[in-house]
Structure 1
């Protein structure tokens, strides 16, 4: 209660994690699949109570003599996508060591508290005035066409895969190289200009997710935790702007925003 609105990282000395095991070998294949689908759906629906739950839980569902389905759920506040490979390689390194009757040997851990300390040292005033300047004079809202005409049922989630093909990919890489910008900058510029056309304007802002891991923290790429951040990207052009100029502006904005 003495901390008021100050966000805190609480580290438990001991915290029981949740492990659930179930044997499904009595079921037929189709019944097993249906059971696992329903189990996963309910697990997602259950979510996490940040105030009291362990923010990670594991279920092992046995499907055969030597086959298991592993369901691993965690709250995003615990870690970002970058951490997935770190955690899985740690788990498997320990697993194989135990199988070989050896003591698992894990590399020393850099605690997330080092990132919190780094955050505390940042100049908030400088950051605030930087972003105010980036967004200065921007009043409108960038929308997608038809986004307002939403059916009563809401949106239908769907995944669409699209292949750019070797030729177009090579062309994109050539342009990025010629103007010394990243592929990310090129794509963001294209998306910005497309949004401009949709909105009948020469100035748009959209969010871009960045990894948020500061290079000045030693070993930052091995820290487990949530670092991602969504920052505004502003694409501003004039009727006689060249695409390459808009792209260079976007690249400069990207570099400045990371400093």
Structure 2
């Protein structure tokens, strides 16, 4: 909260009501003209006197808690004009609130990245194209509507998302270059691809390039001789083998629905790697051999976990699907255990969650509720046709120029960049502290993510002995991925560098600058990390962060 020390009557434009009460709306408007938005109080409480402690200082604990609900109700101003009214209606629908006023913030009302993507899609349906960055820069309804109205004056044709779809006919026996709009392959390369895919040309539905982030992942996959840093595992438990079998059947139905789950990566003998979508790529359940001694000792779960440990386990990404199903019967617990290791080339955390949700719908015989599949090809086409490499480079040179030293906590750098030697520790924050942190973020007009990024920068500054730090941050990847990216299967997340300069900054200034940097990154969320690394002052091949 903010404690005001200047006399209220000194505020220009602040007027007293007949009963002596201050017009908080006018006061807030006057403060808004003199202060940045994040410094304008969310609530204003009138007191006859400020409570003091024995030392004569303001007794903050004795200050009454502001009624935020009453304040927001008093400050409510109905949307004005068609654009504001339409956007307010969309916000009410997405956020599940009864009303939205002109000065309400999308994020203060409960908005987040996934809902922001849905908002962008709804605006496009109205014929109003909008950059995602505009919402983060102007989160209040009136300001965002103004930005949308300005961009709506520019005619932006809505392209057919499937205009670049392959034209490979069913039963094709030999691929031709003209069938594949997104990739340039000669006849010899097509024959090599056909030979690499079980079933040959007849089992190939589409071929297209890798997305920028996938290119980096493939590079690291090929560099690692043992294990794979990009393998993720999911452990499931079943009370019977029949349930496990039904789960695998449902999973295969999901695989049949989504192109990225039927995709293999091929590079041998080609000028550049490509991903090949198979028409059929059923997943076969594997049973882990386990000796009777381990089974009797109840070590089945331990053996299964060790088998898929990413420090040793690898997935052959040349074979679709890039998911494996490995099971074992744990006699000690009477359960059947299933590990679903998958490769990040095909799935990120959001996609994994969507996959499990679809499996649940199928198992519950709710097939009619399954959403229409979104081809991963759309994202690849958009990522490659979006912002140019020169634009990405200009942004990162401006951010990283002058960075000539790695931010290394305690002087340690993981040269392998695979995290295999790391140990992980989790600490769950108390609910009260978590709530207070989010409330502070709202009062500052930034997301909770911004606050935690700044906090992590302070940790790195202390442990690395620097006041100018660079570290990696994970980008959602779906913000610029197209209208239906929020429900698309595939790999979207990206890791990019964030620079936070702390010297001479107040907390408020640090929050504002970190928010601006993160907002800028959204526009470049598809940029390859290798490009960003080239834009610093570090010698070639030196990692920007651990």
TM-score bin (small chain): 0.7 to 0.9
Hey, what's the Cα distance between the residues in 2 that align with 1:46 and 1:164?
Answer: 33
* Residue 468 (structure 2) pairs with residue 238 (structure 1): no
Secondary structure, counterpart of 1:248 in structure 2 = helix
Task: Indicate yes or no: 2:339 matched with 1:71.
Answer: yes
What CA RMSD, in Å, does the superposition of the two structures yield over aligned residues?
Answer: 3.1
Structure 2 residue 400 is the aligned partner of structure 1 residue 116: no
Contact kept? 2:300, 2:328, Cα under 8 Å: no
Corresponding residue for residue 517 of structure 2: 253
Give, in whole Å, the separation in 2 of the partners of 1:200 and 1:67: 51
Return the match for 2:430 from 162, 165, 172: 165
CA distance in structure 1 between the partners assigned to 2:502 and 2:308 by the alignment: 47
| Residue 23 (structure 1) shift | 10
Deviations 1:141-175 (A, max 9, x none): 11111637xxxxx9865443324334433442232
Bigger radius of gyration: 2
Cα separation, partners in 2 of 1:118 and 1:131, compared to 1, 3 Å: same
| Partner deviation per Cα, 1:3-46 (whole Å, 9 max, x = no partner) | 7543322111222422125799x979963731332133224433
Task: Using structure 1 for the length normalisation, give the TM-score.
Answer: 0.82
Structure 1 residues 27 and 166, CA gap change in structure 2 (3 angstroms): same
Gaps of 5+ in 2: 1-184, 190-269, 414-418, 524-546
Relative to structure 1, the CA distance from residue 233 to residue 156 in structure 2 (aligned partners, 3 Å threshold; closer, same or farther) is closer
Mapped pair 1:95 → 2:363: yes
The secondary structure found in structure 2 opposite 1:209 is strand
CA contact (8 A) 2:329 2:337 kept: yes
Higher relative strand content: 1
Q: How many residues align?
A: 248
Whether the 8 Å contact between 2:301 and 2:330 is mirrored in structure 1 is no
Q: Does 1:49 align with 2:319?
A: no
Q: Does 1:193 align with 2:458?
A: yes
The 2-side partners of 1:80 and 1:216 are apart by 14
Q: 1:206-221 residue pairs with structure 2 within 5 A? A: 206-215=471-480, 217-221=482-486
Q: What is the TM-score with the length of structure 2 in the denominator?
A: 0.41
Cα deviation code 1:101-153 (max 9, x no counterpart): x97763220010000110121122212211111111111111111637xxxxx
Counterpart CA distance in 2 for 1:175 and 1:207 is 24
Asked whether the 8 Å contact 2:281–2:321 carries over to 1, the reply is yes
CA shift, 1:75, in A, is 1.3
Q: Secondary structure at the match of 1:184?
A: helix
Q: Which has the higher contact order (CA 8 A, sep 6+)?
A: 1
1:200 is displaced (CA, Å) by: 3.0
Indicate which of 256, 279, 283 corresponds to 1:13: 279
Residues in 1 aligned to 2:481 and 2:307: alpha-carbon distance in whole angstroms = 41
CA contact (8 A) 2:376 2:488 kept: yes
> Contact conserved, 1:19 with 1:59, CA < 8 A, in 2?
yes
> 373, 378, 396: which is aligned to 1:131?
396
